[in-house]
Chain A
Amino acid sequence: MCSPPSSWAGCGESDGRVTFLQPIMLWGLLAAATPVLIHFINRMRHRPVQWGAMLFLARARRSSTKFAKLRRFLILACRVLALAMIAMVLARPLLGGFVGRLFAGPPELVVIVLDRSASMEARAGGGGETLRQRALRELSASKALLDEVRRIVVLDSATGKPVELPAVAQLGDERFWPATDTGATMPALVERALALVAGSAVGRAEIWLVSDLQASNWQPTEQTWRALTERQAGLHQDVVFRLLALTPPEETNASVRVLSSELRCEGRGQVLDLAFEVRSPGLANSELVVSLGLNGRTQNLKLQLAGGQLVVRRSFPLADRAAGWGVIELPADSNPQDNRAFFAWEPPRERLAVVVAEDAAVGQLLGFAAAPIPDDPERRVEIRLAGQLGDLSATSLLVWQGTPPTATDREAVDEFLAAGGHVLFLPGRQGGGELPTGLAWGKSLDAPAEEPWRVANWDHANGPLADTPSGVALSVDRLRLSRACPLLGTAPEILASLADETPFLAAAPVGKGKAWFCPTLPDREWSTLGRGTVLLPLMQRLLEEGGRRLGHVQVHDCGEPLDMSEFVPVGDTPVAPGTNQAGVFRADGSMIVLRRPASEDIPGSLDERTVRDLFGGLPLQLMQERQGSQKAGLQSEFWWVMALCGLLFMVGEGLLTIAPPRGQGEGGR
C-alpha cells in the first residue's frame, strides 16, 4: 500500500503591500489633476451678466451654500478619482495579504520544478508507484486548477530546460517524464524558475516544487538560497512557492557505485581490478548477493555488509587486453534505480608526465613522483627545458616549477590547458611571475623557525588529496612548510589551506583542463613535501586525472551535456536518447560510461523546518490536496477592482451633475 501522499511544507505569507506591474503608468496619476485645473480655469473664464433677480440668487445661495459646496467637492472628487483609477488600472496593481486573497484569481504562470533524479524512483512496498509517478499523479489531480492557468512551464531537473506544456494532460503522461539516473540541483533550478517568472510579464505566478527533499539535491548550505530572497524582492510581482514534498519510503535501500575499474597486465594475462562501493544504511551486518556482468557474462558475488557500507575490491582475470564493459546489480529493493552501476575498462595506456623545472634537483624529485617505477610502461616522465616544451598532445600532466611560462611557452601551456590538459605549477626559488587565470606568485616567505607552517584543512572527499578509497587520509597534516611563495589572487578552488587560510593546493579550470597550484617545493629548505607521502599520491592522481582526456573510456555523470549522437548503447543498457540514463555507450573506439551522480547515493532528506528556513521570508505555501480550495493567493492583480471603482466614480459624477428638469422653471405659469 502506498504511503500517505504528499506532505506539504508550512506557510509563510507576504504582507499586504500594494505593488504595481507597470509602475511607469502611475505617471498617469498626473492626469487626475485635470478636472481640478479645468475647474479653476472655468471659474476664471466666467462671464458677467447684468441681472435683475438678485433677490432669488441671494436666497438660493443662502440655502444651497452648504450643500452646493459639498456637491461641487463630490463632483470634483469623483472626476479626480475616476481618472486616478484609470491610471491605477493601467499600472496593474498587485495586492498581497488577506485583502489580496479576496481578489485572488488563478495564476497566469505556473512553473513546475520537477525533480526527476534517481532518488525519485524509490517506491514503497516494493511494487507500488515510485515517487516520480506519485508526483505526476498529484500534478494531474491539479488539472482543475491548472486549466485556468494561462501558461504552464515545467523545469525538469534532468534536462534543466524549461518546457511549456501545450496541454495539462501532458503532465500525467509518463512518457514525457520517464525515470532517469540524473541528479538534481534544486537551488539552481529554483533560481532559474525565478528568472523565468521575472522574464515574463505576468501579474501572478507560482512556482511548484516537486521533490523528495533529498539533502544532497537541495544543498541546504548553498549560498544560492540566501540570494533567492534578494532576487524575490527585486521582482515586480511576488511569487508564490508551493511545495510538493514526497516522502521516501522507509524500506531499506541499497545502492552500488563503481569506484574504479582498471585493466592491468599480470604475467601473460590481463586482470581487471574492480572497486565498488555498496551503501545500505538499513542492511547492517547482512549478506548481500550481487550480480556482476563482464562483457555480458554474469556471475554472482556474495558480500557481507557491515556497518551499512562496504567497499569491495576484486580482481577478475580477463581473456584479452581489449576494452570491455560491465555492470553490477544489487537485488531489487525500494529504489531499483540505484541498484545498478556500469563501468568500462580499456587497455592500460601510457601516462606521460612532462616536468619543466628551474631547479634540477626539484625537477628530478618531481619526475620521480610522477614515474616512480623505472621502465613502467604505464607511467613515463620527460624532463624538458623551458623554451623547449615541444609537443604536449600525448601528455597527461605538465609540471612547471619556476618562473611561470612566457611567450611561446605560455601559448603552448594555454593551448594544452584548453585542450583538457592538467598543469601543476610550483614557484621558483625567488617567487614572482604571472600565472594563467590571473593569479601570480608572491615573493618567497619564510616561516618562523620554531613554528613552520602546517596544512590545517584539505578536501578529504574530492581532489588529489582525498582520502583513499578505503577511507584512509593522506598525511597532509604532517607536512611542514618552512618557505613558500604565496598565491596572489583568488583561486576558484582551494583544496587545501594552511592554518591562516593561505592556499596550499589550489585549482582553476582553464578551458577543458585545469591548472593546479602548490606554493612550496619538495626541497628540504622549503618543506617536507619531498618525503613523498603526499607528493607521490598527489602526482599520481593528477597524472590520472590529466590522462583521462587521452583515454578511450570516459566516465560522466548522467545529465552532463554531452554529444551522444555517435554513441550507441552496449549490452543491455537501456536504449534512451540523451544522457539521462546510466549505461555504457560506444562509438568508434571510444566508450562513454554514464553513471548516476554520487550525490544520489547519499541518503537523508530535509525536514519541513529546514526547507522553511531555506526560503527565509519567501512565501512558501502548502498546496491543498483538495484541489477545490486552490484559491489562496498572496499577491493578486486587482485591477478589476480599480476599474469597478472608476466606473462607480464616473456614474456618481454623472448623477451629481445631472441638472434639475426644465419643468421647474415653468412654475410661474
Chain B
Amino acid sequence: MKTDRQRSFLDPKILARLAQLELNARLPMEGSFGGQHKSPHRGSSVEFAQYREYVPGDDISKLDWRAYARSDRFYIKEFEADTNLRCHLVLDCSGSMAYGDTKAKFDYGRTLAANLAQVAVRQGDAVGVCCFNGQVVEDVPAHTGPRHLGAVYDVLERVHPQGETDAVTVLHDLAERIRRRAMVIVISDFFAEPGPLLDCFQHLIYRKHDVVVFHVLDPREMDFDFSRPVRFRDLESSFSMLTDPSVMRRDYLREFAGWLDELRTGCLRYNVDYRQARTSEAVEDVLSAFLLGRMRRK
C-alpha cells in the first residue's frame, strides 16, 4: 500500500494549505456519530434550538418554567443535535476527462477529490468515492478513518479515464442509493445536455443532499484556441472531424457559452453549489475558495 507521499495526486503543499480549513455542509446531515455538522434531528447538545408546545408524552424535565410563567402555557426546549458528515465524492472518469492541454482534467479532478477526502477524514467525517463513465467503475462507501482514506486513494489511483459518459444514469442511481443525507460532490466536465443533468441534481436535492458540483474544464476547451486545420478525434468514441477552427470558432464558443450558462443557471436555481475549476487554476485556490466559503456560511 502506497503512502500518501507516493500518491501523484497528493501534494504536501496543498495539504498544508488546507490544514486549517474545514469542510462544512450547508444542510443538516445525518451522520452516524457526533460531529461538528448539524443534524436534522433534535439532540442533546447544549445549543438551544427552539421552543415547542408541550404535548402529552414529552419529557417534562425539558419544560421551560420561565416560559410557563410568562405565558401560562407549557413549552418544551429543544436543543441542536451535532453529527458527522457523510461525503460522497463522485468522480467522472469518462474519456473526455483525459483531455488536458497542460494537465488532464481527470488528474485535476482526482487531485480535488483526494484533497477533499483528506479534509473530510481529518475532521472525522466519512468519505466515499464513486468513479463513473458510462457506468459505475469504482464505488467505495463512505466511512471514516485514515485506513479508509487509503482505500479511497487506491481507487483514485487505480482509475483511468476512458469510455463514454453517462453521468445522468449514474447520478440518478446514486440519488436512490444514498439513503441518508450526505454531501455529494460531483467532479466532472459535464459534457452532456444540461437538462438531464440538472434533473439529476434536482433528484439529489430532493433527497436532501448537499450537492456540490466541481465543473472541471480545460482553458483550451473554453477558448478553442486553434489556428491551423485540425482533425479532432473524440476521446470517447471513434468519431473524428476535420475542420478549420478559425472558421468554426465563433459558433463553437457560442454553443459552449450557451451550454455553460444553462448549466450554471440551473445549478443556482436548484441550490446546487456550483464551482467552476479551470485546470489552469491551482487546485489549492479552488479548494480554499470552496472551503472558506462554506466556513463563512456556517
Known pairs A61-B243, A667-B253; list 16 more (Cβ under 8 Å): A42-B229, A49-B230, A51-B99, A51-B234, A51-B235, A52-B98, A52-B221, A53-B256, A56-B256, A57-B241, A58-B241, A64-B250, A64-B251, A68-B251, A668-B217, A668-B260
B57-75 toward A: CB 8 Å interface, digit per residue (1/0)? 0000000000000000000
A562 interface residue per 8 A CB criterion: no
Contact of B256 with A668 in the complex, beta carbons under 8 Å: yes
Of the four ranges (under 10, 10 to 19, 20 to 34, 35 or more), the interface on chain A belongs to 20 to 34
A46 interface residue per 8 A CB criterion: yes
Contact of B234 with A60 in the complex, beta carbons under 8 Å: no
The closest CB in chain B to the CB of A669 belongs to B276
- Contacts of A161 on B, CB cut-off 8 Å? none
Contact of B242 with A46 in the complex, beta carbons under 8 Å: yes
Contact of A660 with B242 in the complex, beta carbons under 8 Å: no
- Contacts of A46 on B, CB cut-off 8 Å? 228-231, 242
Known: A52-B95, A52-B221. A659 touches B249 (CB 8 A): yes
- Contacts of B257 on A, CB cut-off 8 Å? 664, 667-668
Q: In the docked arrangement, what's the CA distance between A48 and B234, Å?
A: 10
Contact of B98 with A68 in the complex, beta carbons under 8 Å: no
A51-87 toward B: CB 8 Å interface, digit per residue (1/0)? 1111111111101100010011000000000000000
Contact of A664 with B255 in the complex, beta carbons under 8 Å: no
- Contacts of A60 on B, CB cut-off 8 Å? 248, 251-252, 254-255
A662 interface residue per 8 A CB criterion: yes
B223 interface residue per 8 A CB criterion: yes
A18-51 toward B: CB 8 Å interface, digit per residue (1/0)? 0000000000000000000000001101111111
Known: A57-B243, A68-B248. A50 touches B225 (CB 8 A): no
Q: In the docked arrangement, what's the CA distance between A58 and B249, Å?
A: 12
Contact of A55 with B231 in the complex, beta carbons under 8 Å: no
B246 interface residue per 8 A CB criterion: yes
Residues of A620-669 whose CB lies within 8 A of B: 657, 659-660, 662, 664-669
Contact of A57 with B248 in the complex, beta carbons under 8 Å: yes
User: Of A47, A52, A71, A668, which one neighbours B105 at CB under 8 angstroms?
Assistant: A52
Q: List 23 A-B contacts (CB under 8 A).
A: A43-B229, A43-B244, A45-B228, A48-B231, A49-B226, A49-B231, A49-B233, A50-B99, A51-B235, A52-B95, A52-B191, A52-B218, A53-B256, A54-B232, A55-B192, A57-B248, A59-B255, A60-B252, A61-B243, A61-B248, A64-B247, A662-B223, A666-B223
Contact of B97 with A52 in the complex, beta carbons under 8 Å: yes
What is the CB-to-nearest-CB distance from B216 to chain A, in angstroms, rounded to a whole number? 11
Contact of A45 with B229 in the complex, beta carbons under 8 Å: yes
B236 interface residue per 8 A CB criterion: yes
Chain A contact residues: helix, strand, loop or mixed: helix
Contact of A48 with B221 in the complex, beta carbons under 8 Å: no
Contact of A53 with B221 in the complex, beta carbons under 8 Å: yes
Known: A56-B259, A667-B260, A668-B260. A50 touches B244 (CB 8 A): no
Tell me the count of chain B residues lying within 8 A, CB to CB, of chain A. Answer: 49
What is the CB-to-nearest-CB distance from A475 to chain B, in angstroms, rounded to a whole number? 98
User: Of A53, A72, A668, A669, which one neighbours B191 at CB under 8 angstroms?
Assistant: A53
Residues of B within 8 A of A (CB): 95-99, 105, 189, 191-192, 217-218, 221-226, 228-237, 239-244, 246-257, 259-261, 276
Contact of A56 with B231 in the complex, beta carbons under 8 Å: no
* Max chain B C-beta neighbours (<10 A), residue from A48, A56, A659, A664: A56
Q: In the docked arrangement, what's the CA distance between A6 and B148, Å?
A: 116
Q: In the docked arrangement, what's the CA distance between A56 and B217, Å?
A: 14
The closest CB in chain B to the CB of A75 belongs to B247
Q: In the docked arrangement, what's the CA distance between A43 and B261, Å?
A: 34
The closest CB in chain A to the CB of B192 belongs to A55
Known: A54-B239, A56-B259. A664 touches B247 (CB 8 A): no
The closest CB in chain A to the CB of B229 belongs to A46
- Contacts of A669 on B, CB cut-off 8 Å? 276
Q: In the docked arrangement, what's the CA distance between A666 and B256, Å?
A: 10
The closest CB in chain A to the CB of B221 belongs to A53
* Max chain B C-beta neighbours (<10 A), residue from A45, A46, A47, A52: A52
Contact of B228 with A42 in the complex, beta carbons under 8 Å: yes
- Contacts of A50 on B, CB cut-off 8 Å? 98-99, 233, 235
Contact of B236 with A52 in the complex, beta carbons under 8 Å: yes
What is the CB-to-nearest-CB distance from A660 to chain B, in angstroms, rounded to a whole number? 4
- Contacts of B226 on A, CB cut-off 8 Å? 49
Q: In the docked arrangement, what's the CA distance between A659 and B225, Å?
A: 10
- Contacts of A667 on B, CB cut-off 8 Å? 222, 253, 256-257, 260-261
- Contacts of B228 on A, CB cut-off 8 Å? 42, 45-47
What is the CB-to-nearest-CB distance from B77 to chain A, in angstroms, rounded to a whole number? 48
- Contacts of A45 on B, CB cut-off 8 Å? 228-229
Known: A56-B255, A667-B261. A51 touches B233 (CB 8 A): yes
Contact of A664 with B243 in the complex, beta carbons under 8 Å: no
Contact of A51 with B252 in the complex, beta carbons under 8 Å: no
Q: In the docked arrangement, what's the CA distance between A42 and B242, Å?
A: 12
- Contacts of A666 on B, CB cut-off 8 Å? 222-223
- Contacts of B261 on A, CB cut-off 8 Å? 667
Q: In the docked arrangement, what's the CA distance between A148 and B276, Å?
A: 72
The closest CB in chain A to the CB of B101 belongs to A49
Known: A52-B189, A665-B223. A57 touches B97 (CB 8 A): no
Contact of A63 with B233 in the complex, beta carbons under 8 Å: no
Q: In the docked arrangement, what's the CA distance between A52 and B234, Å?
A: 6
Known: A53-B96, A55-B191, A667-B253. A659 touches B229 (CB 8 A): no
Known: A46-B228, A51-B99, A60-B248. A668 touches B222 (CB 8 A): yes
- Contacts of A42 on B, CB cut-off 8 Å? 228-229
Contact of A54 with B248 in the complex, beta carbons under 8 Å: no
Contact of B99 with A52 in the complex, beta carbons under 8 Å: yes
The closest CB in chain B to the CB of A44 belongs to B229
- Contacts of B191 on A, CB cut-off 8 Å? 52-53, 55
Q: In the docked arrangement, what's the CA distance between A53 and B244, Å?
A: 16
- Contacts of A64 on B, CB cut-off 8 Å? 247-248, 250-251
Known: A52-B191, A57-B243. A63 touches B260 (CB 8 A): no
What is the CB-to-nearest-CB distance from A123 to chain B, in angstroms, rounded to a whole number? 79
Q: In the docked arrangement, what's the CA distance between A47 and B261, Å?
A: 31
Q: In the docked arrangement, what's the CA distance between A429 and B236, Å?
A: 115
Q: In the docked arrangement, what's the CA distance between A143 and B23, Å?
A: 97
The 10 closest A-B pairs by CB, nearest first: A52-B96, A667-B257, A665-B223, A60-B251, A52-B99, A46-B229, A64-B251, A60-B252, A51-B232, A664-B253
What is the CB-to-nearest-CB distance from B218 to chain A, in angstroms, rounded to a whole number? 8
What is the CB-to-nearest-CB distance from B139 to chain A, in angstroms, rounded to a whole number? 24
Known: A46-B242, A72-B244. A664 touches B254 (CB 8 A): yes
Contact of A63 with B251 in the complex, beta carbons under 8 Å: yes
What is the CB-to-nearest-CB distance from A669 to chain B, in angstroms, rounded to a whole number? 7
The closest CB in chain A to the CB of B253 belongs to A664
The closest CB in chain A to the CB of B193 belongs to A55
- Contacts of A48 on B, CB cut-off 8 Å? 230-233, 240
Contact of B232 with A57 in the complex, beta carbons under 8 Å: yes
Residues of A400-414 whose CB lies within 8 A of B: none
User: Of B96, B105, B246, B252, which one neighbours A57 at CB under 8 angstroms?
Assistant: B252
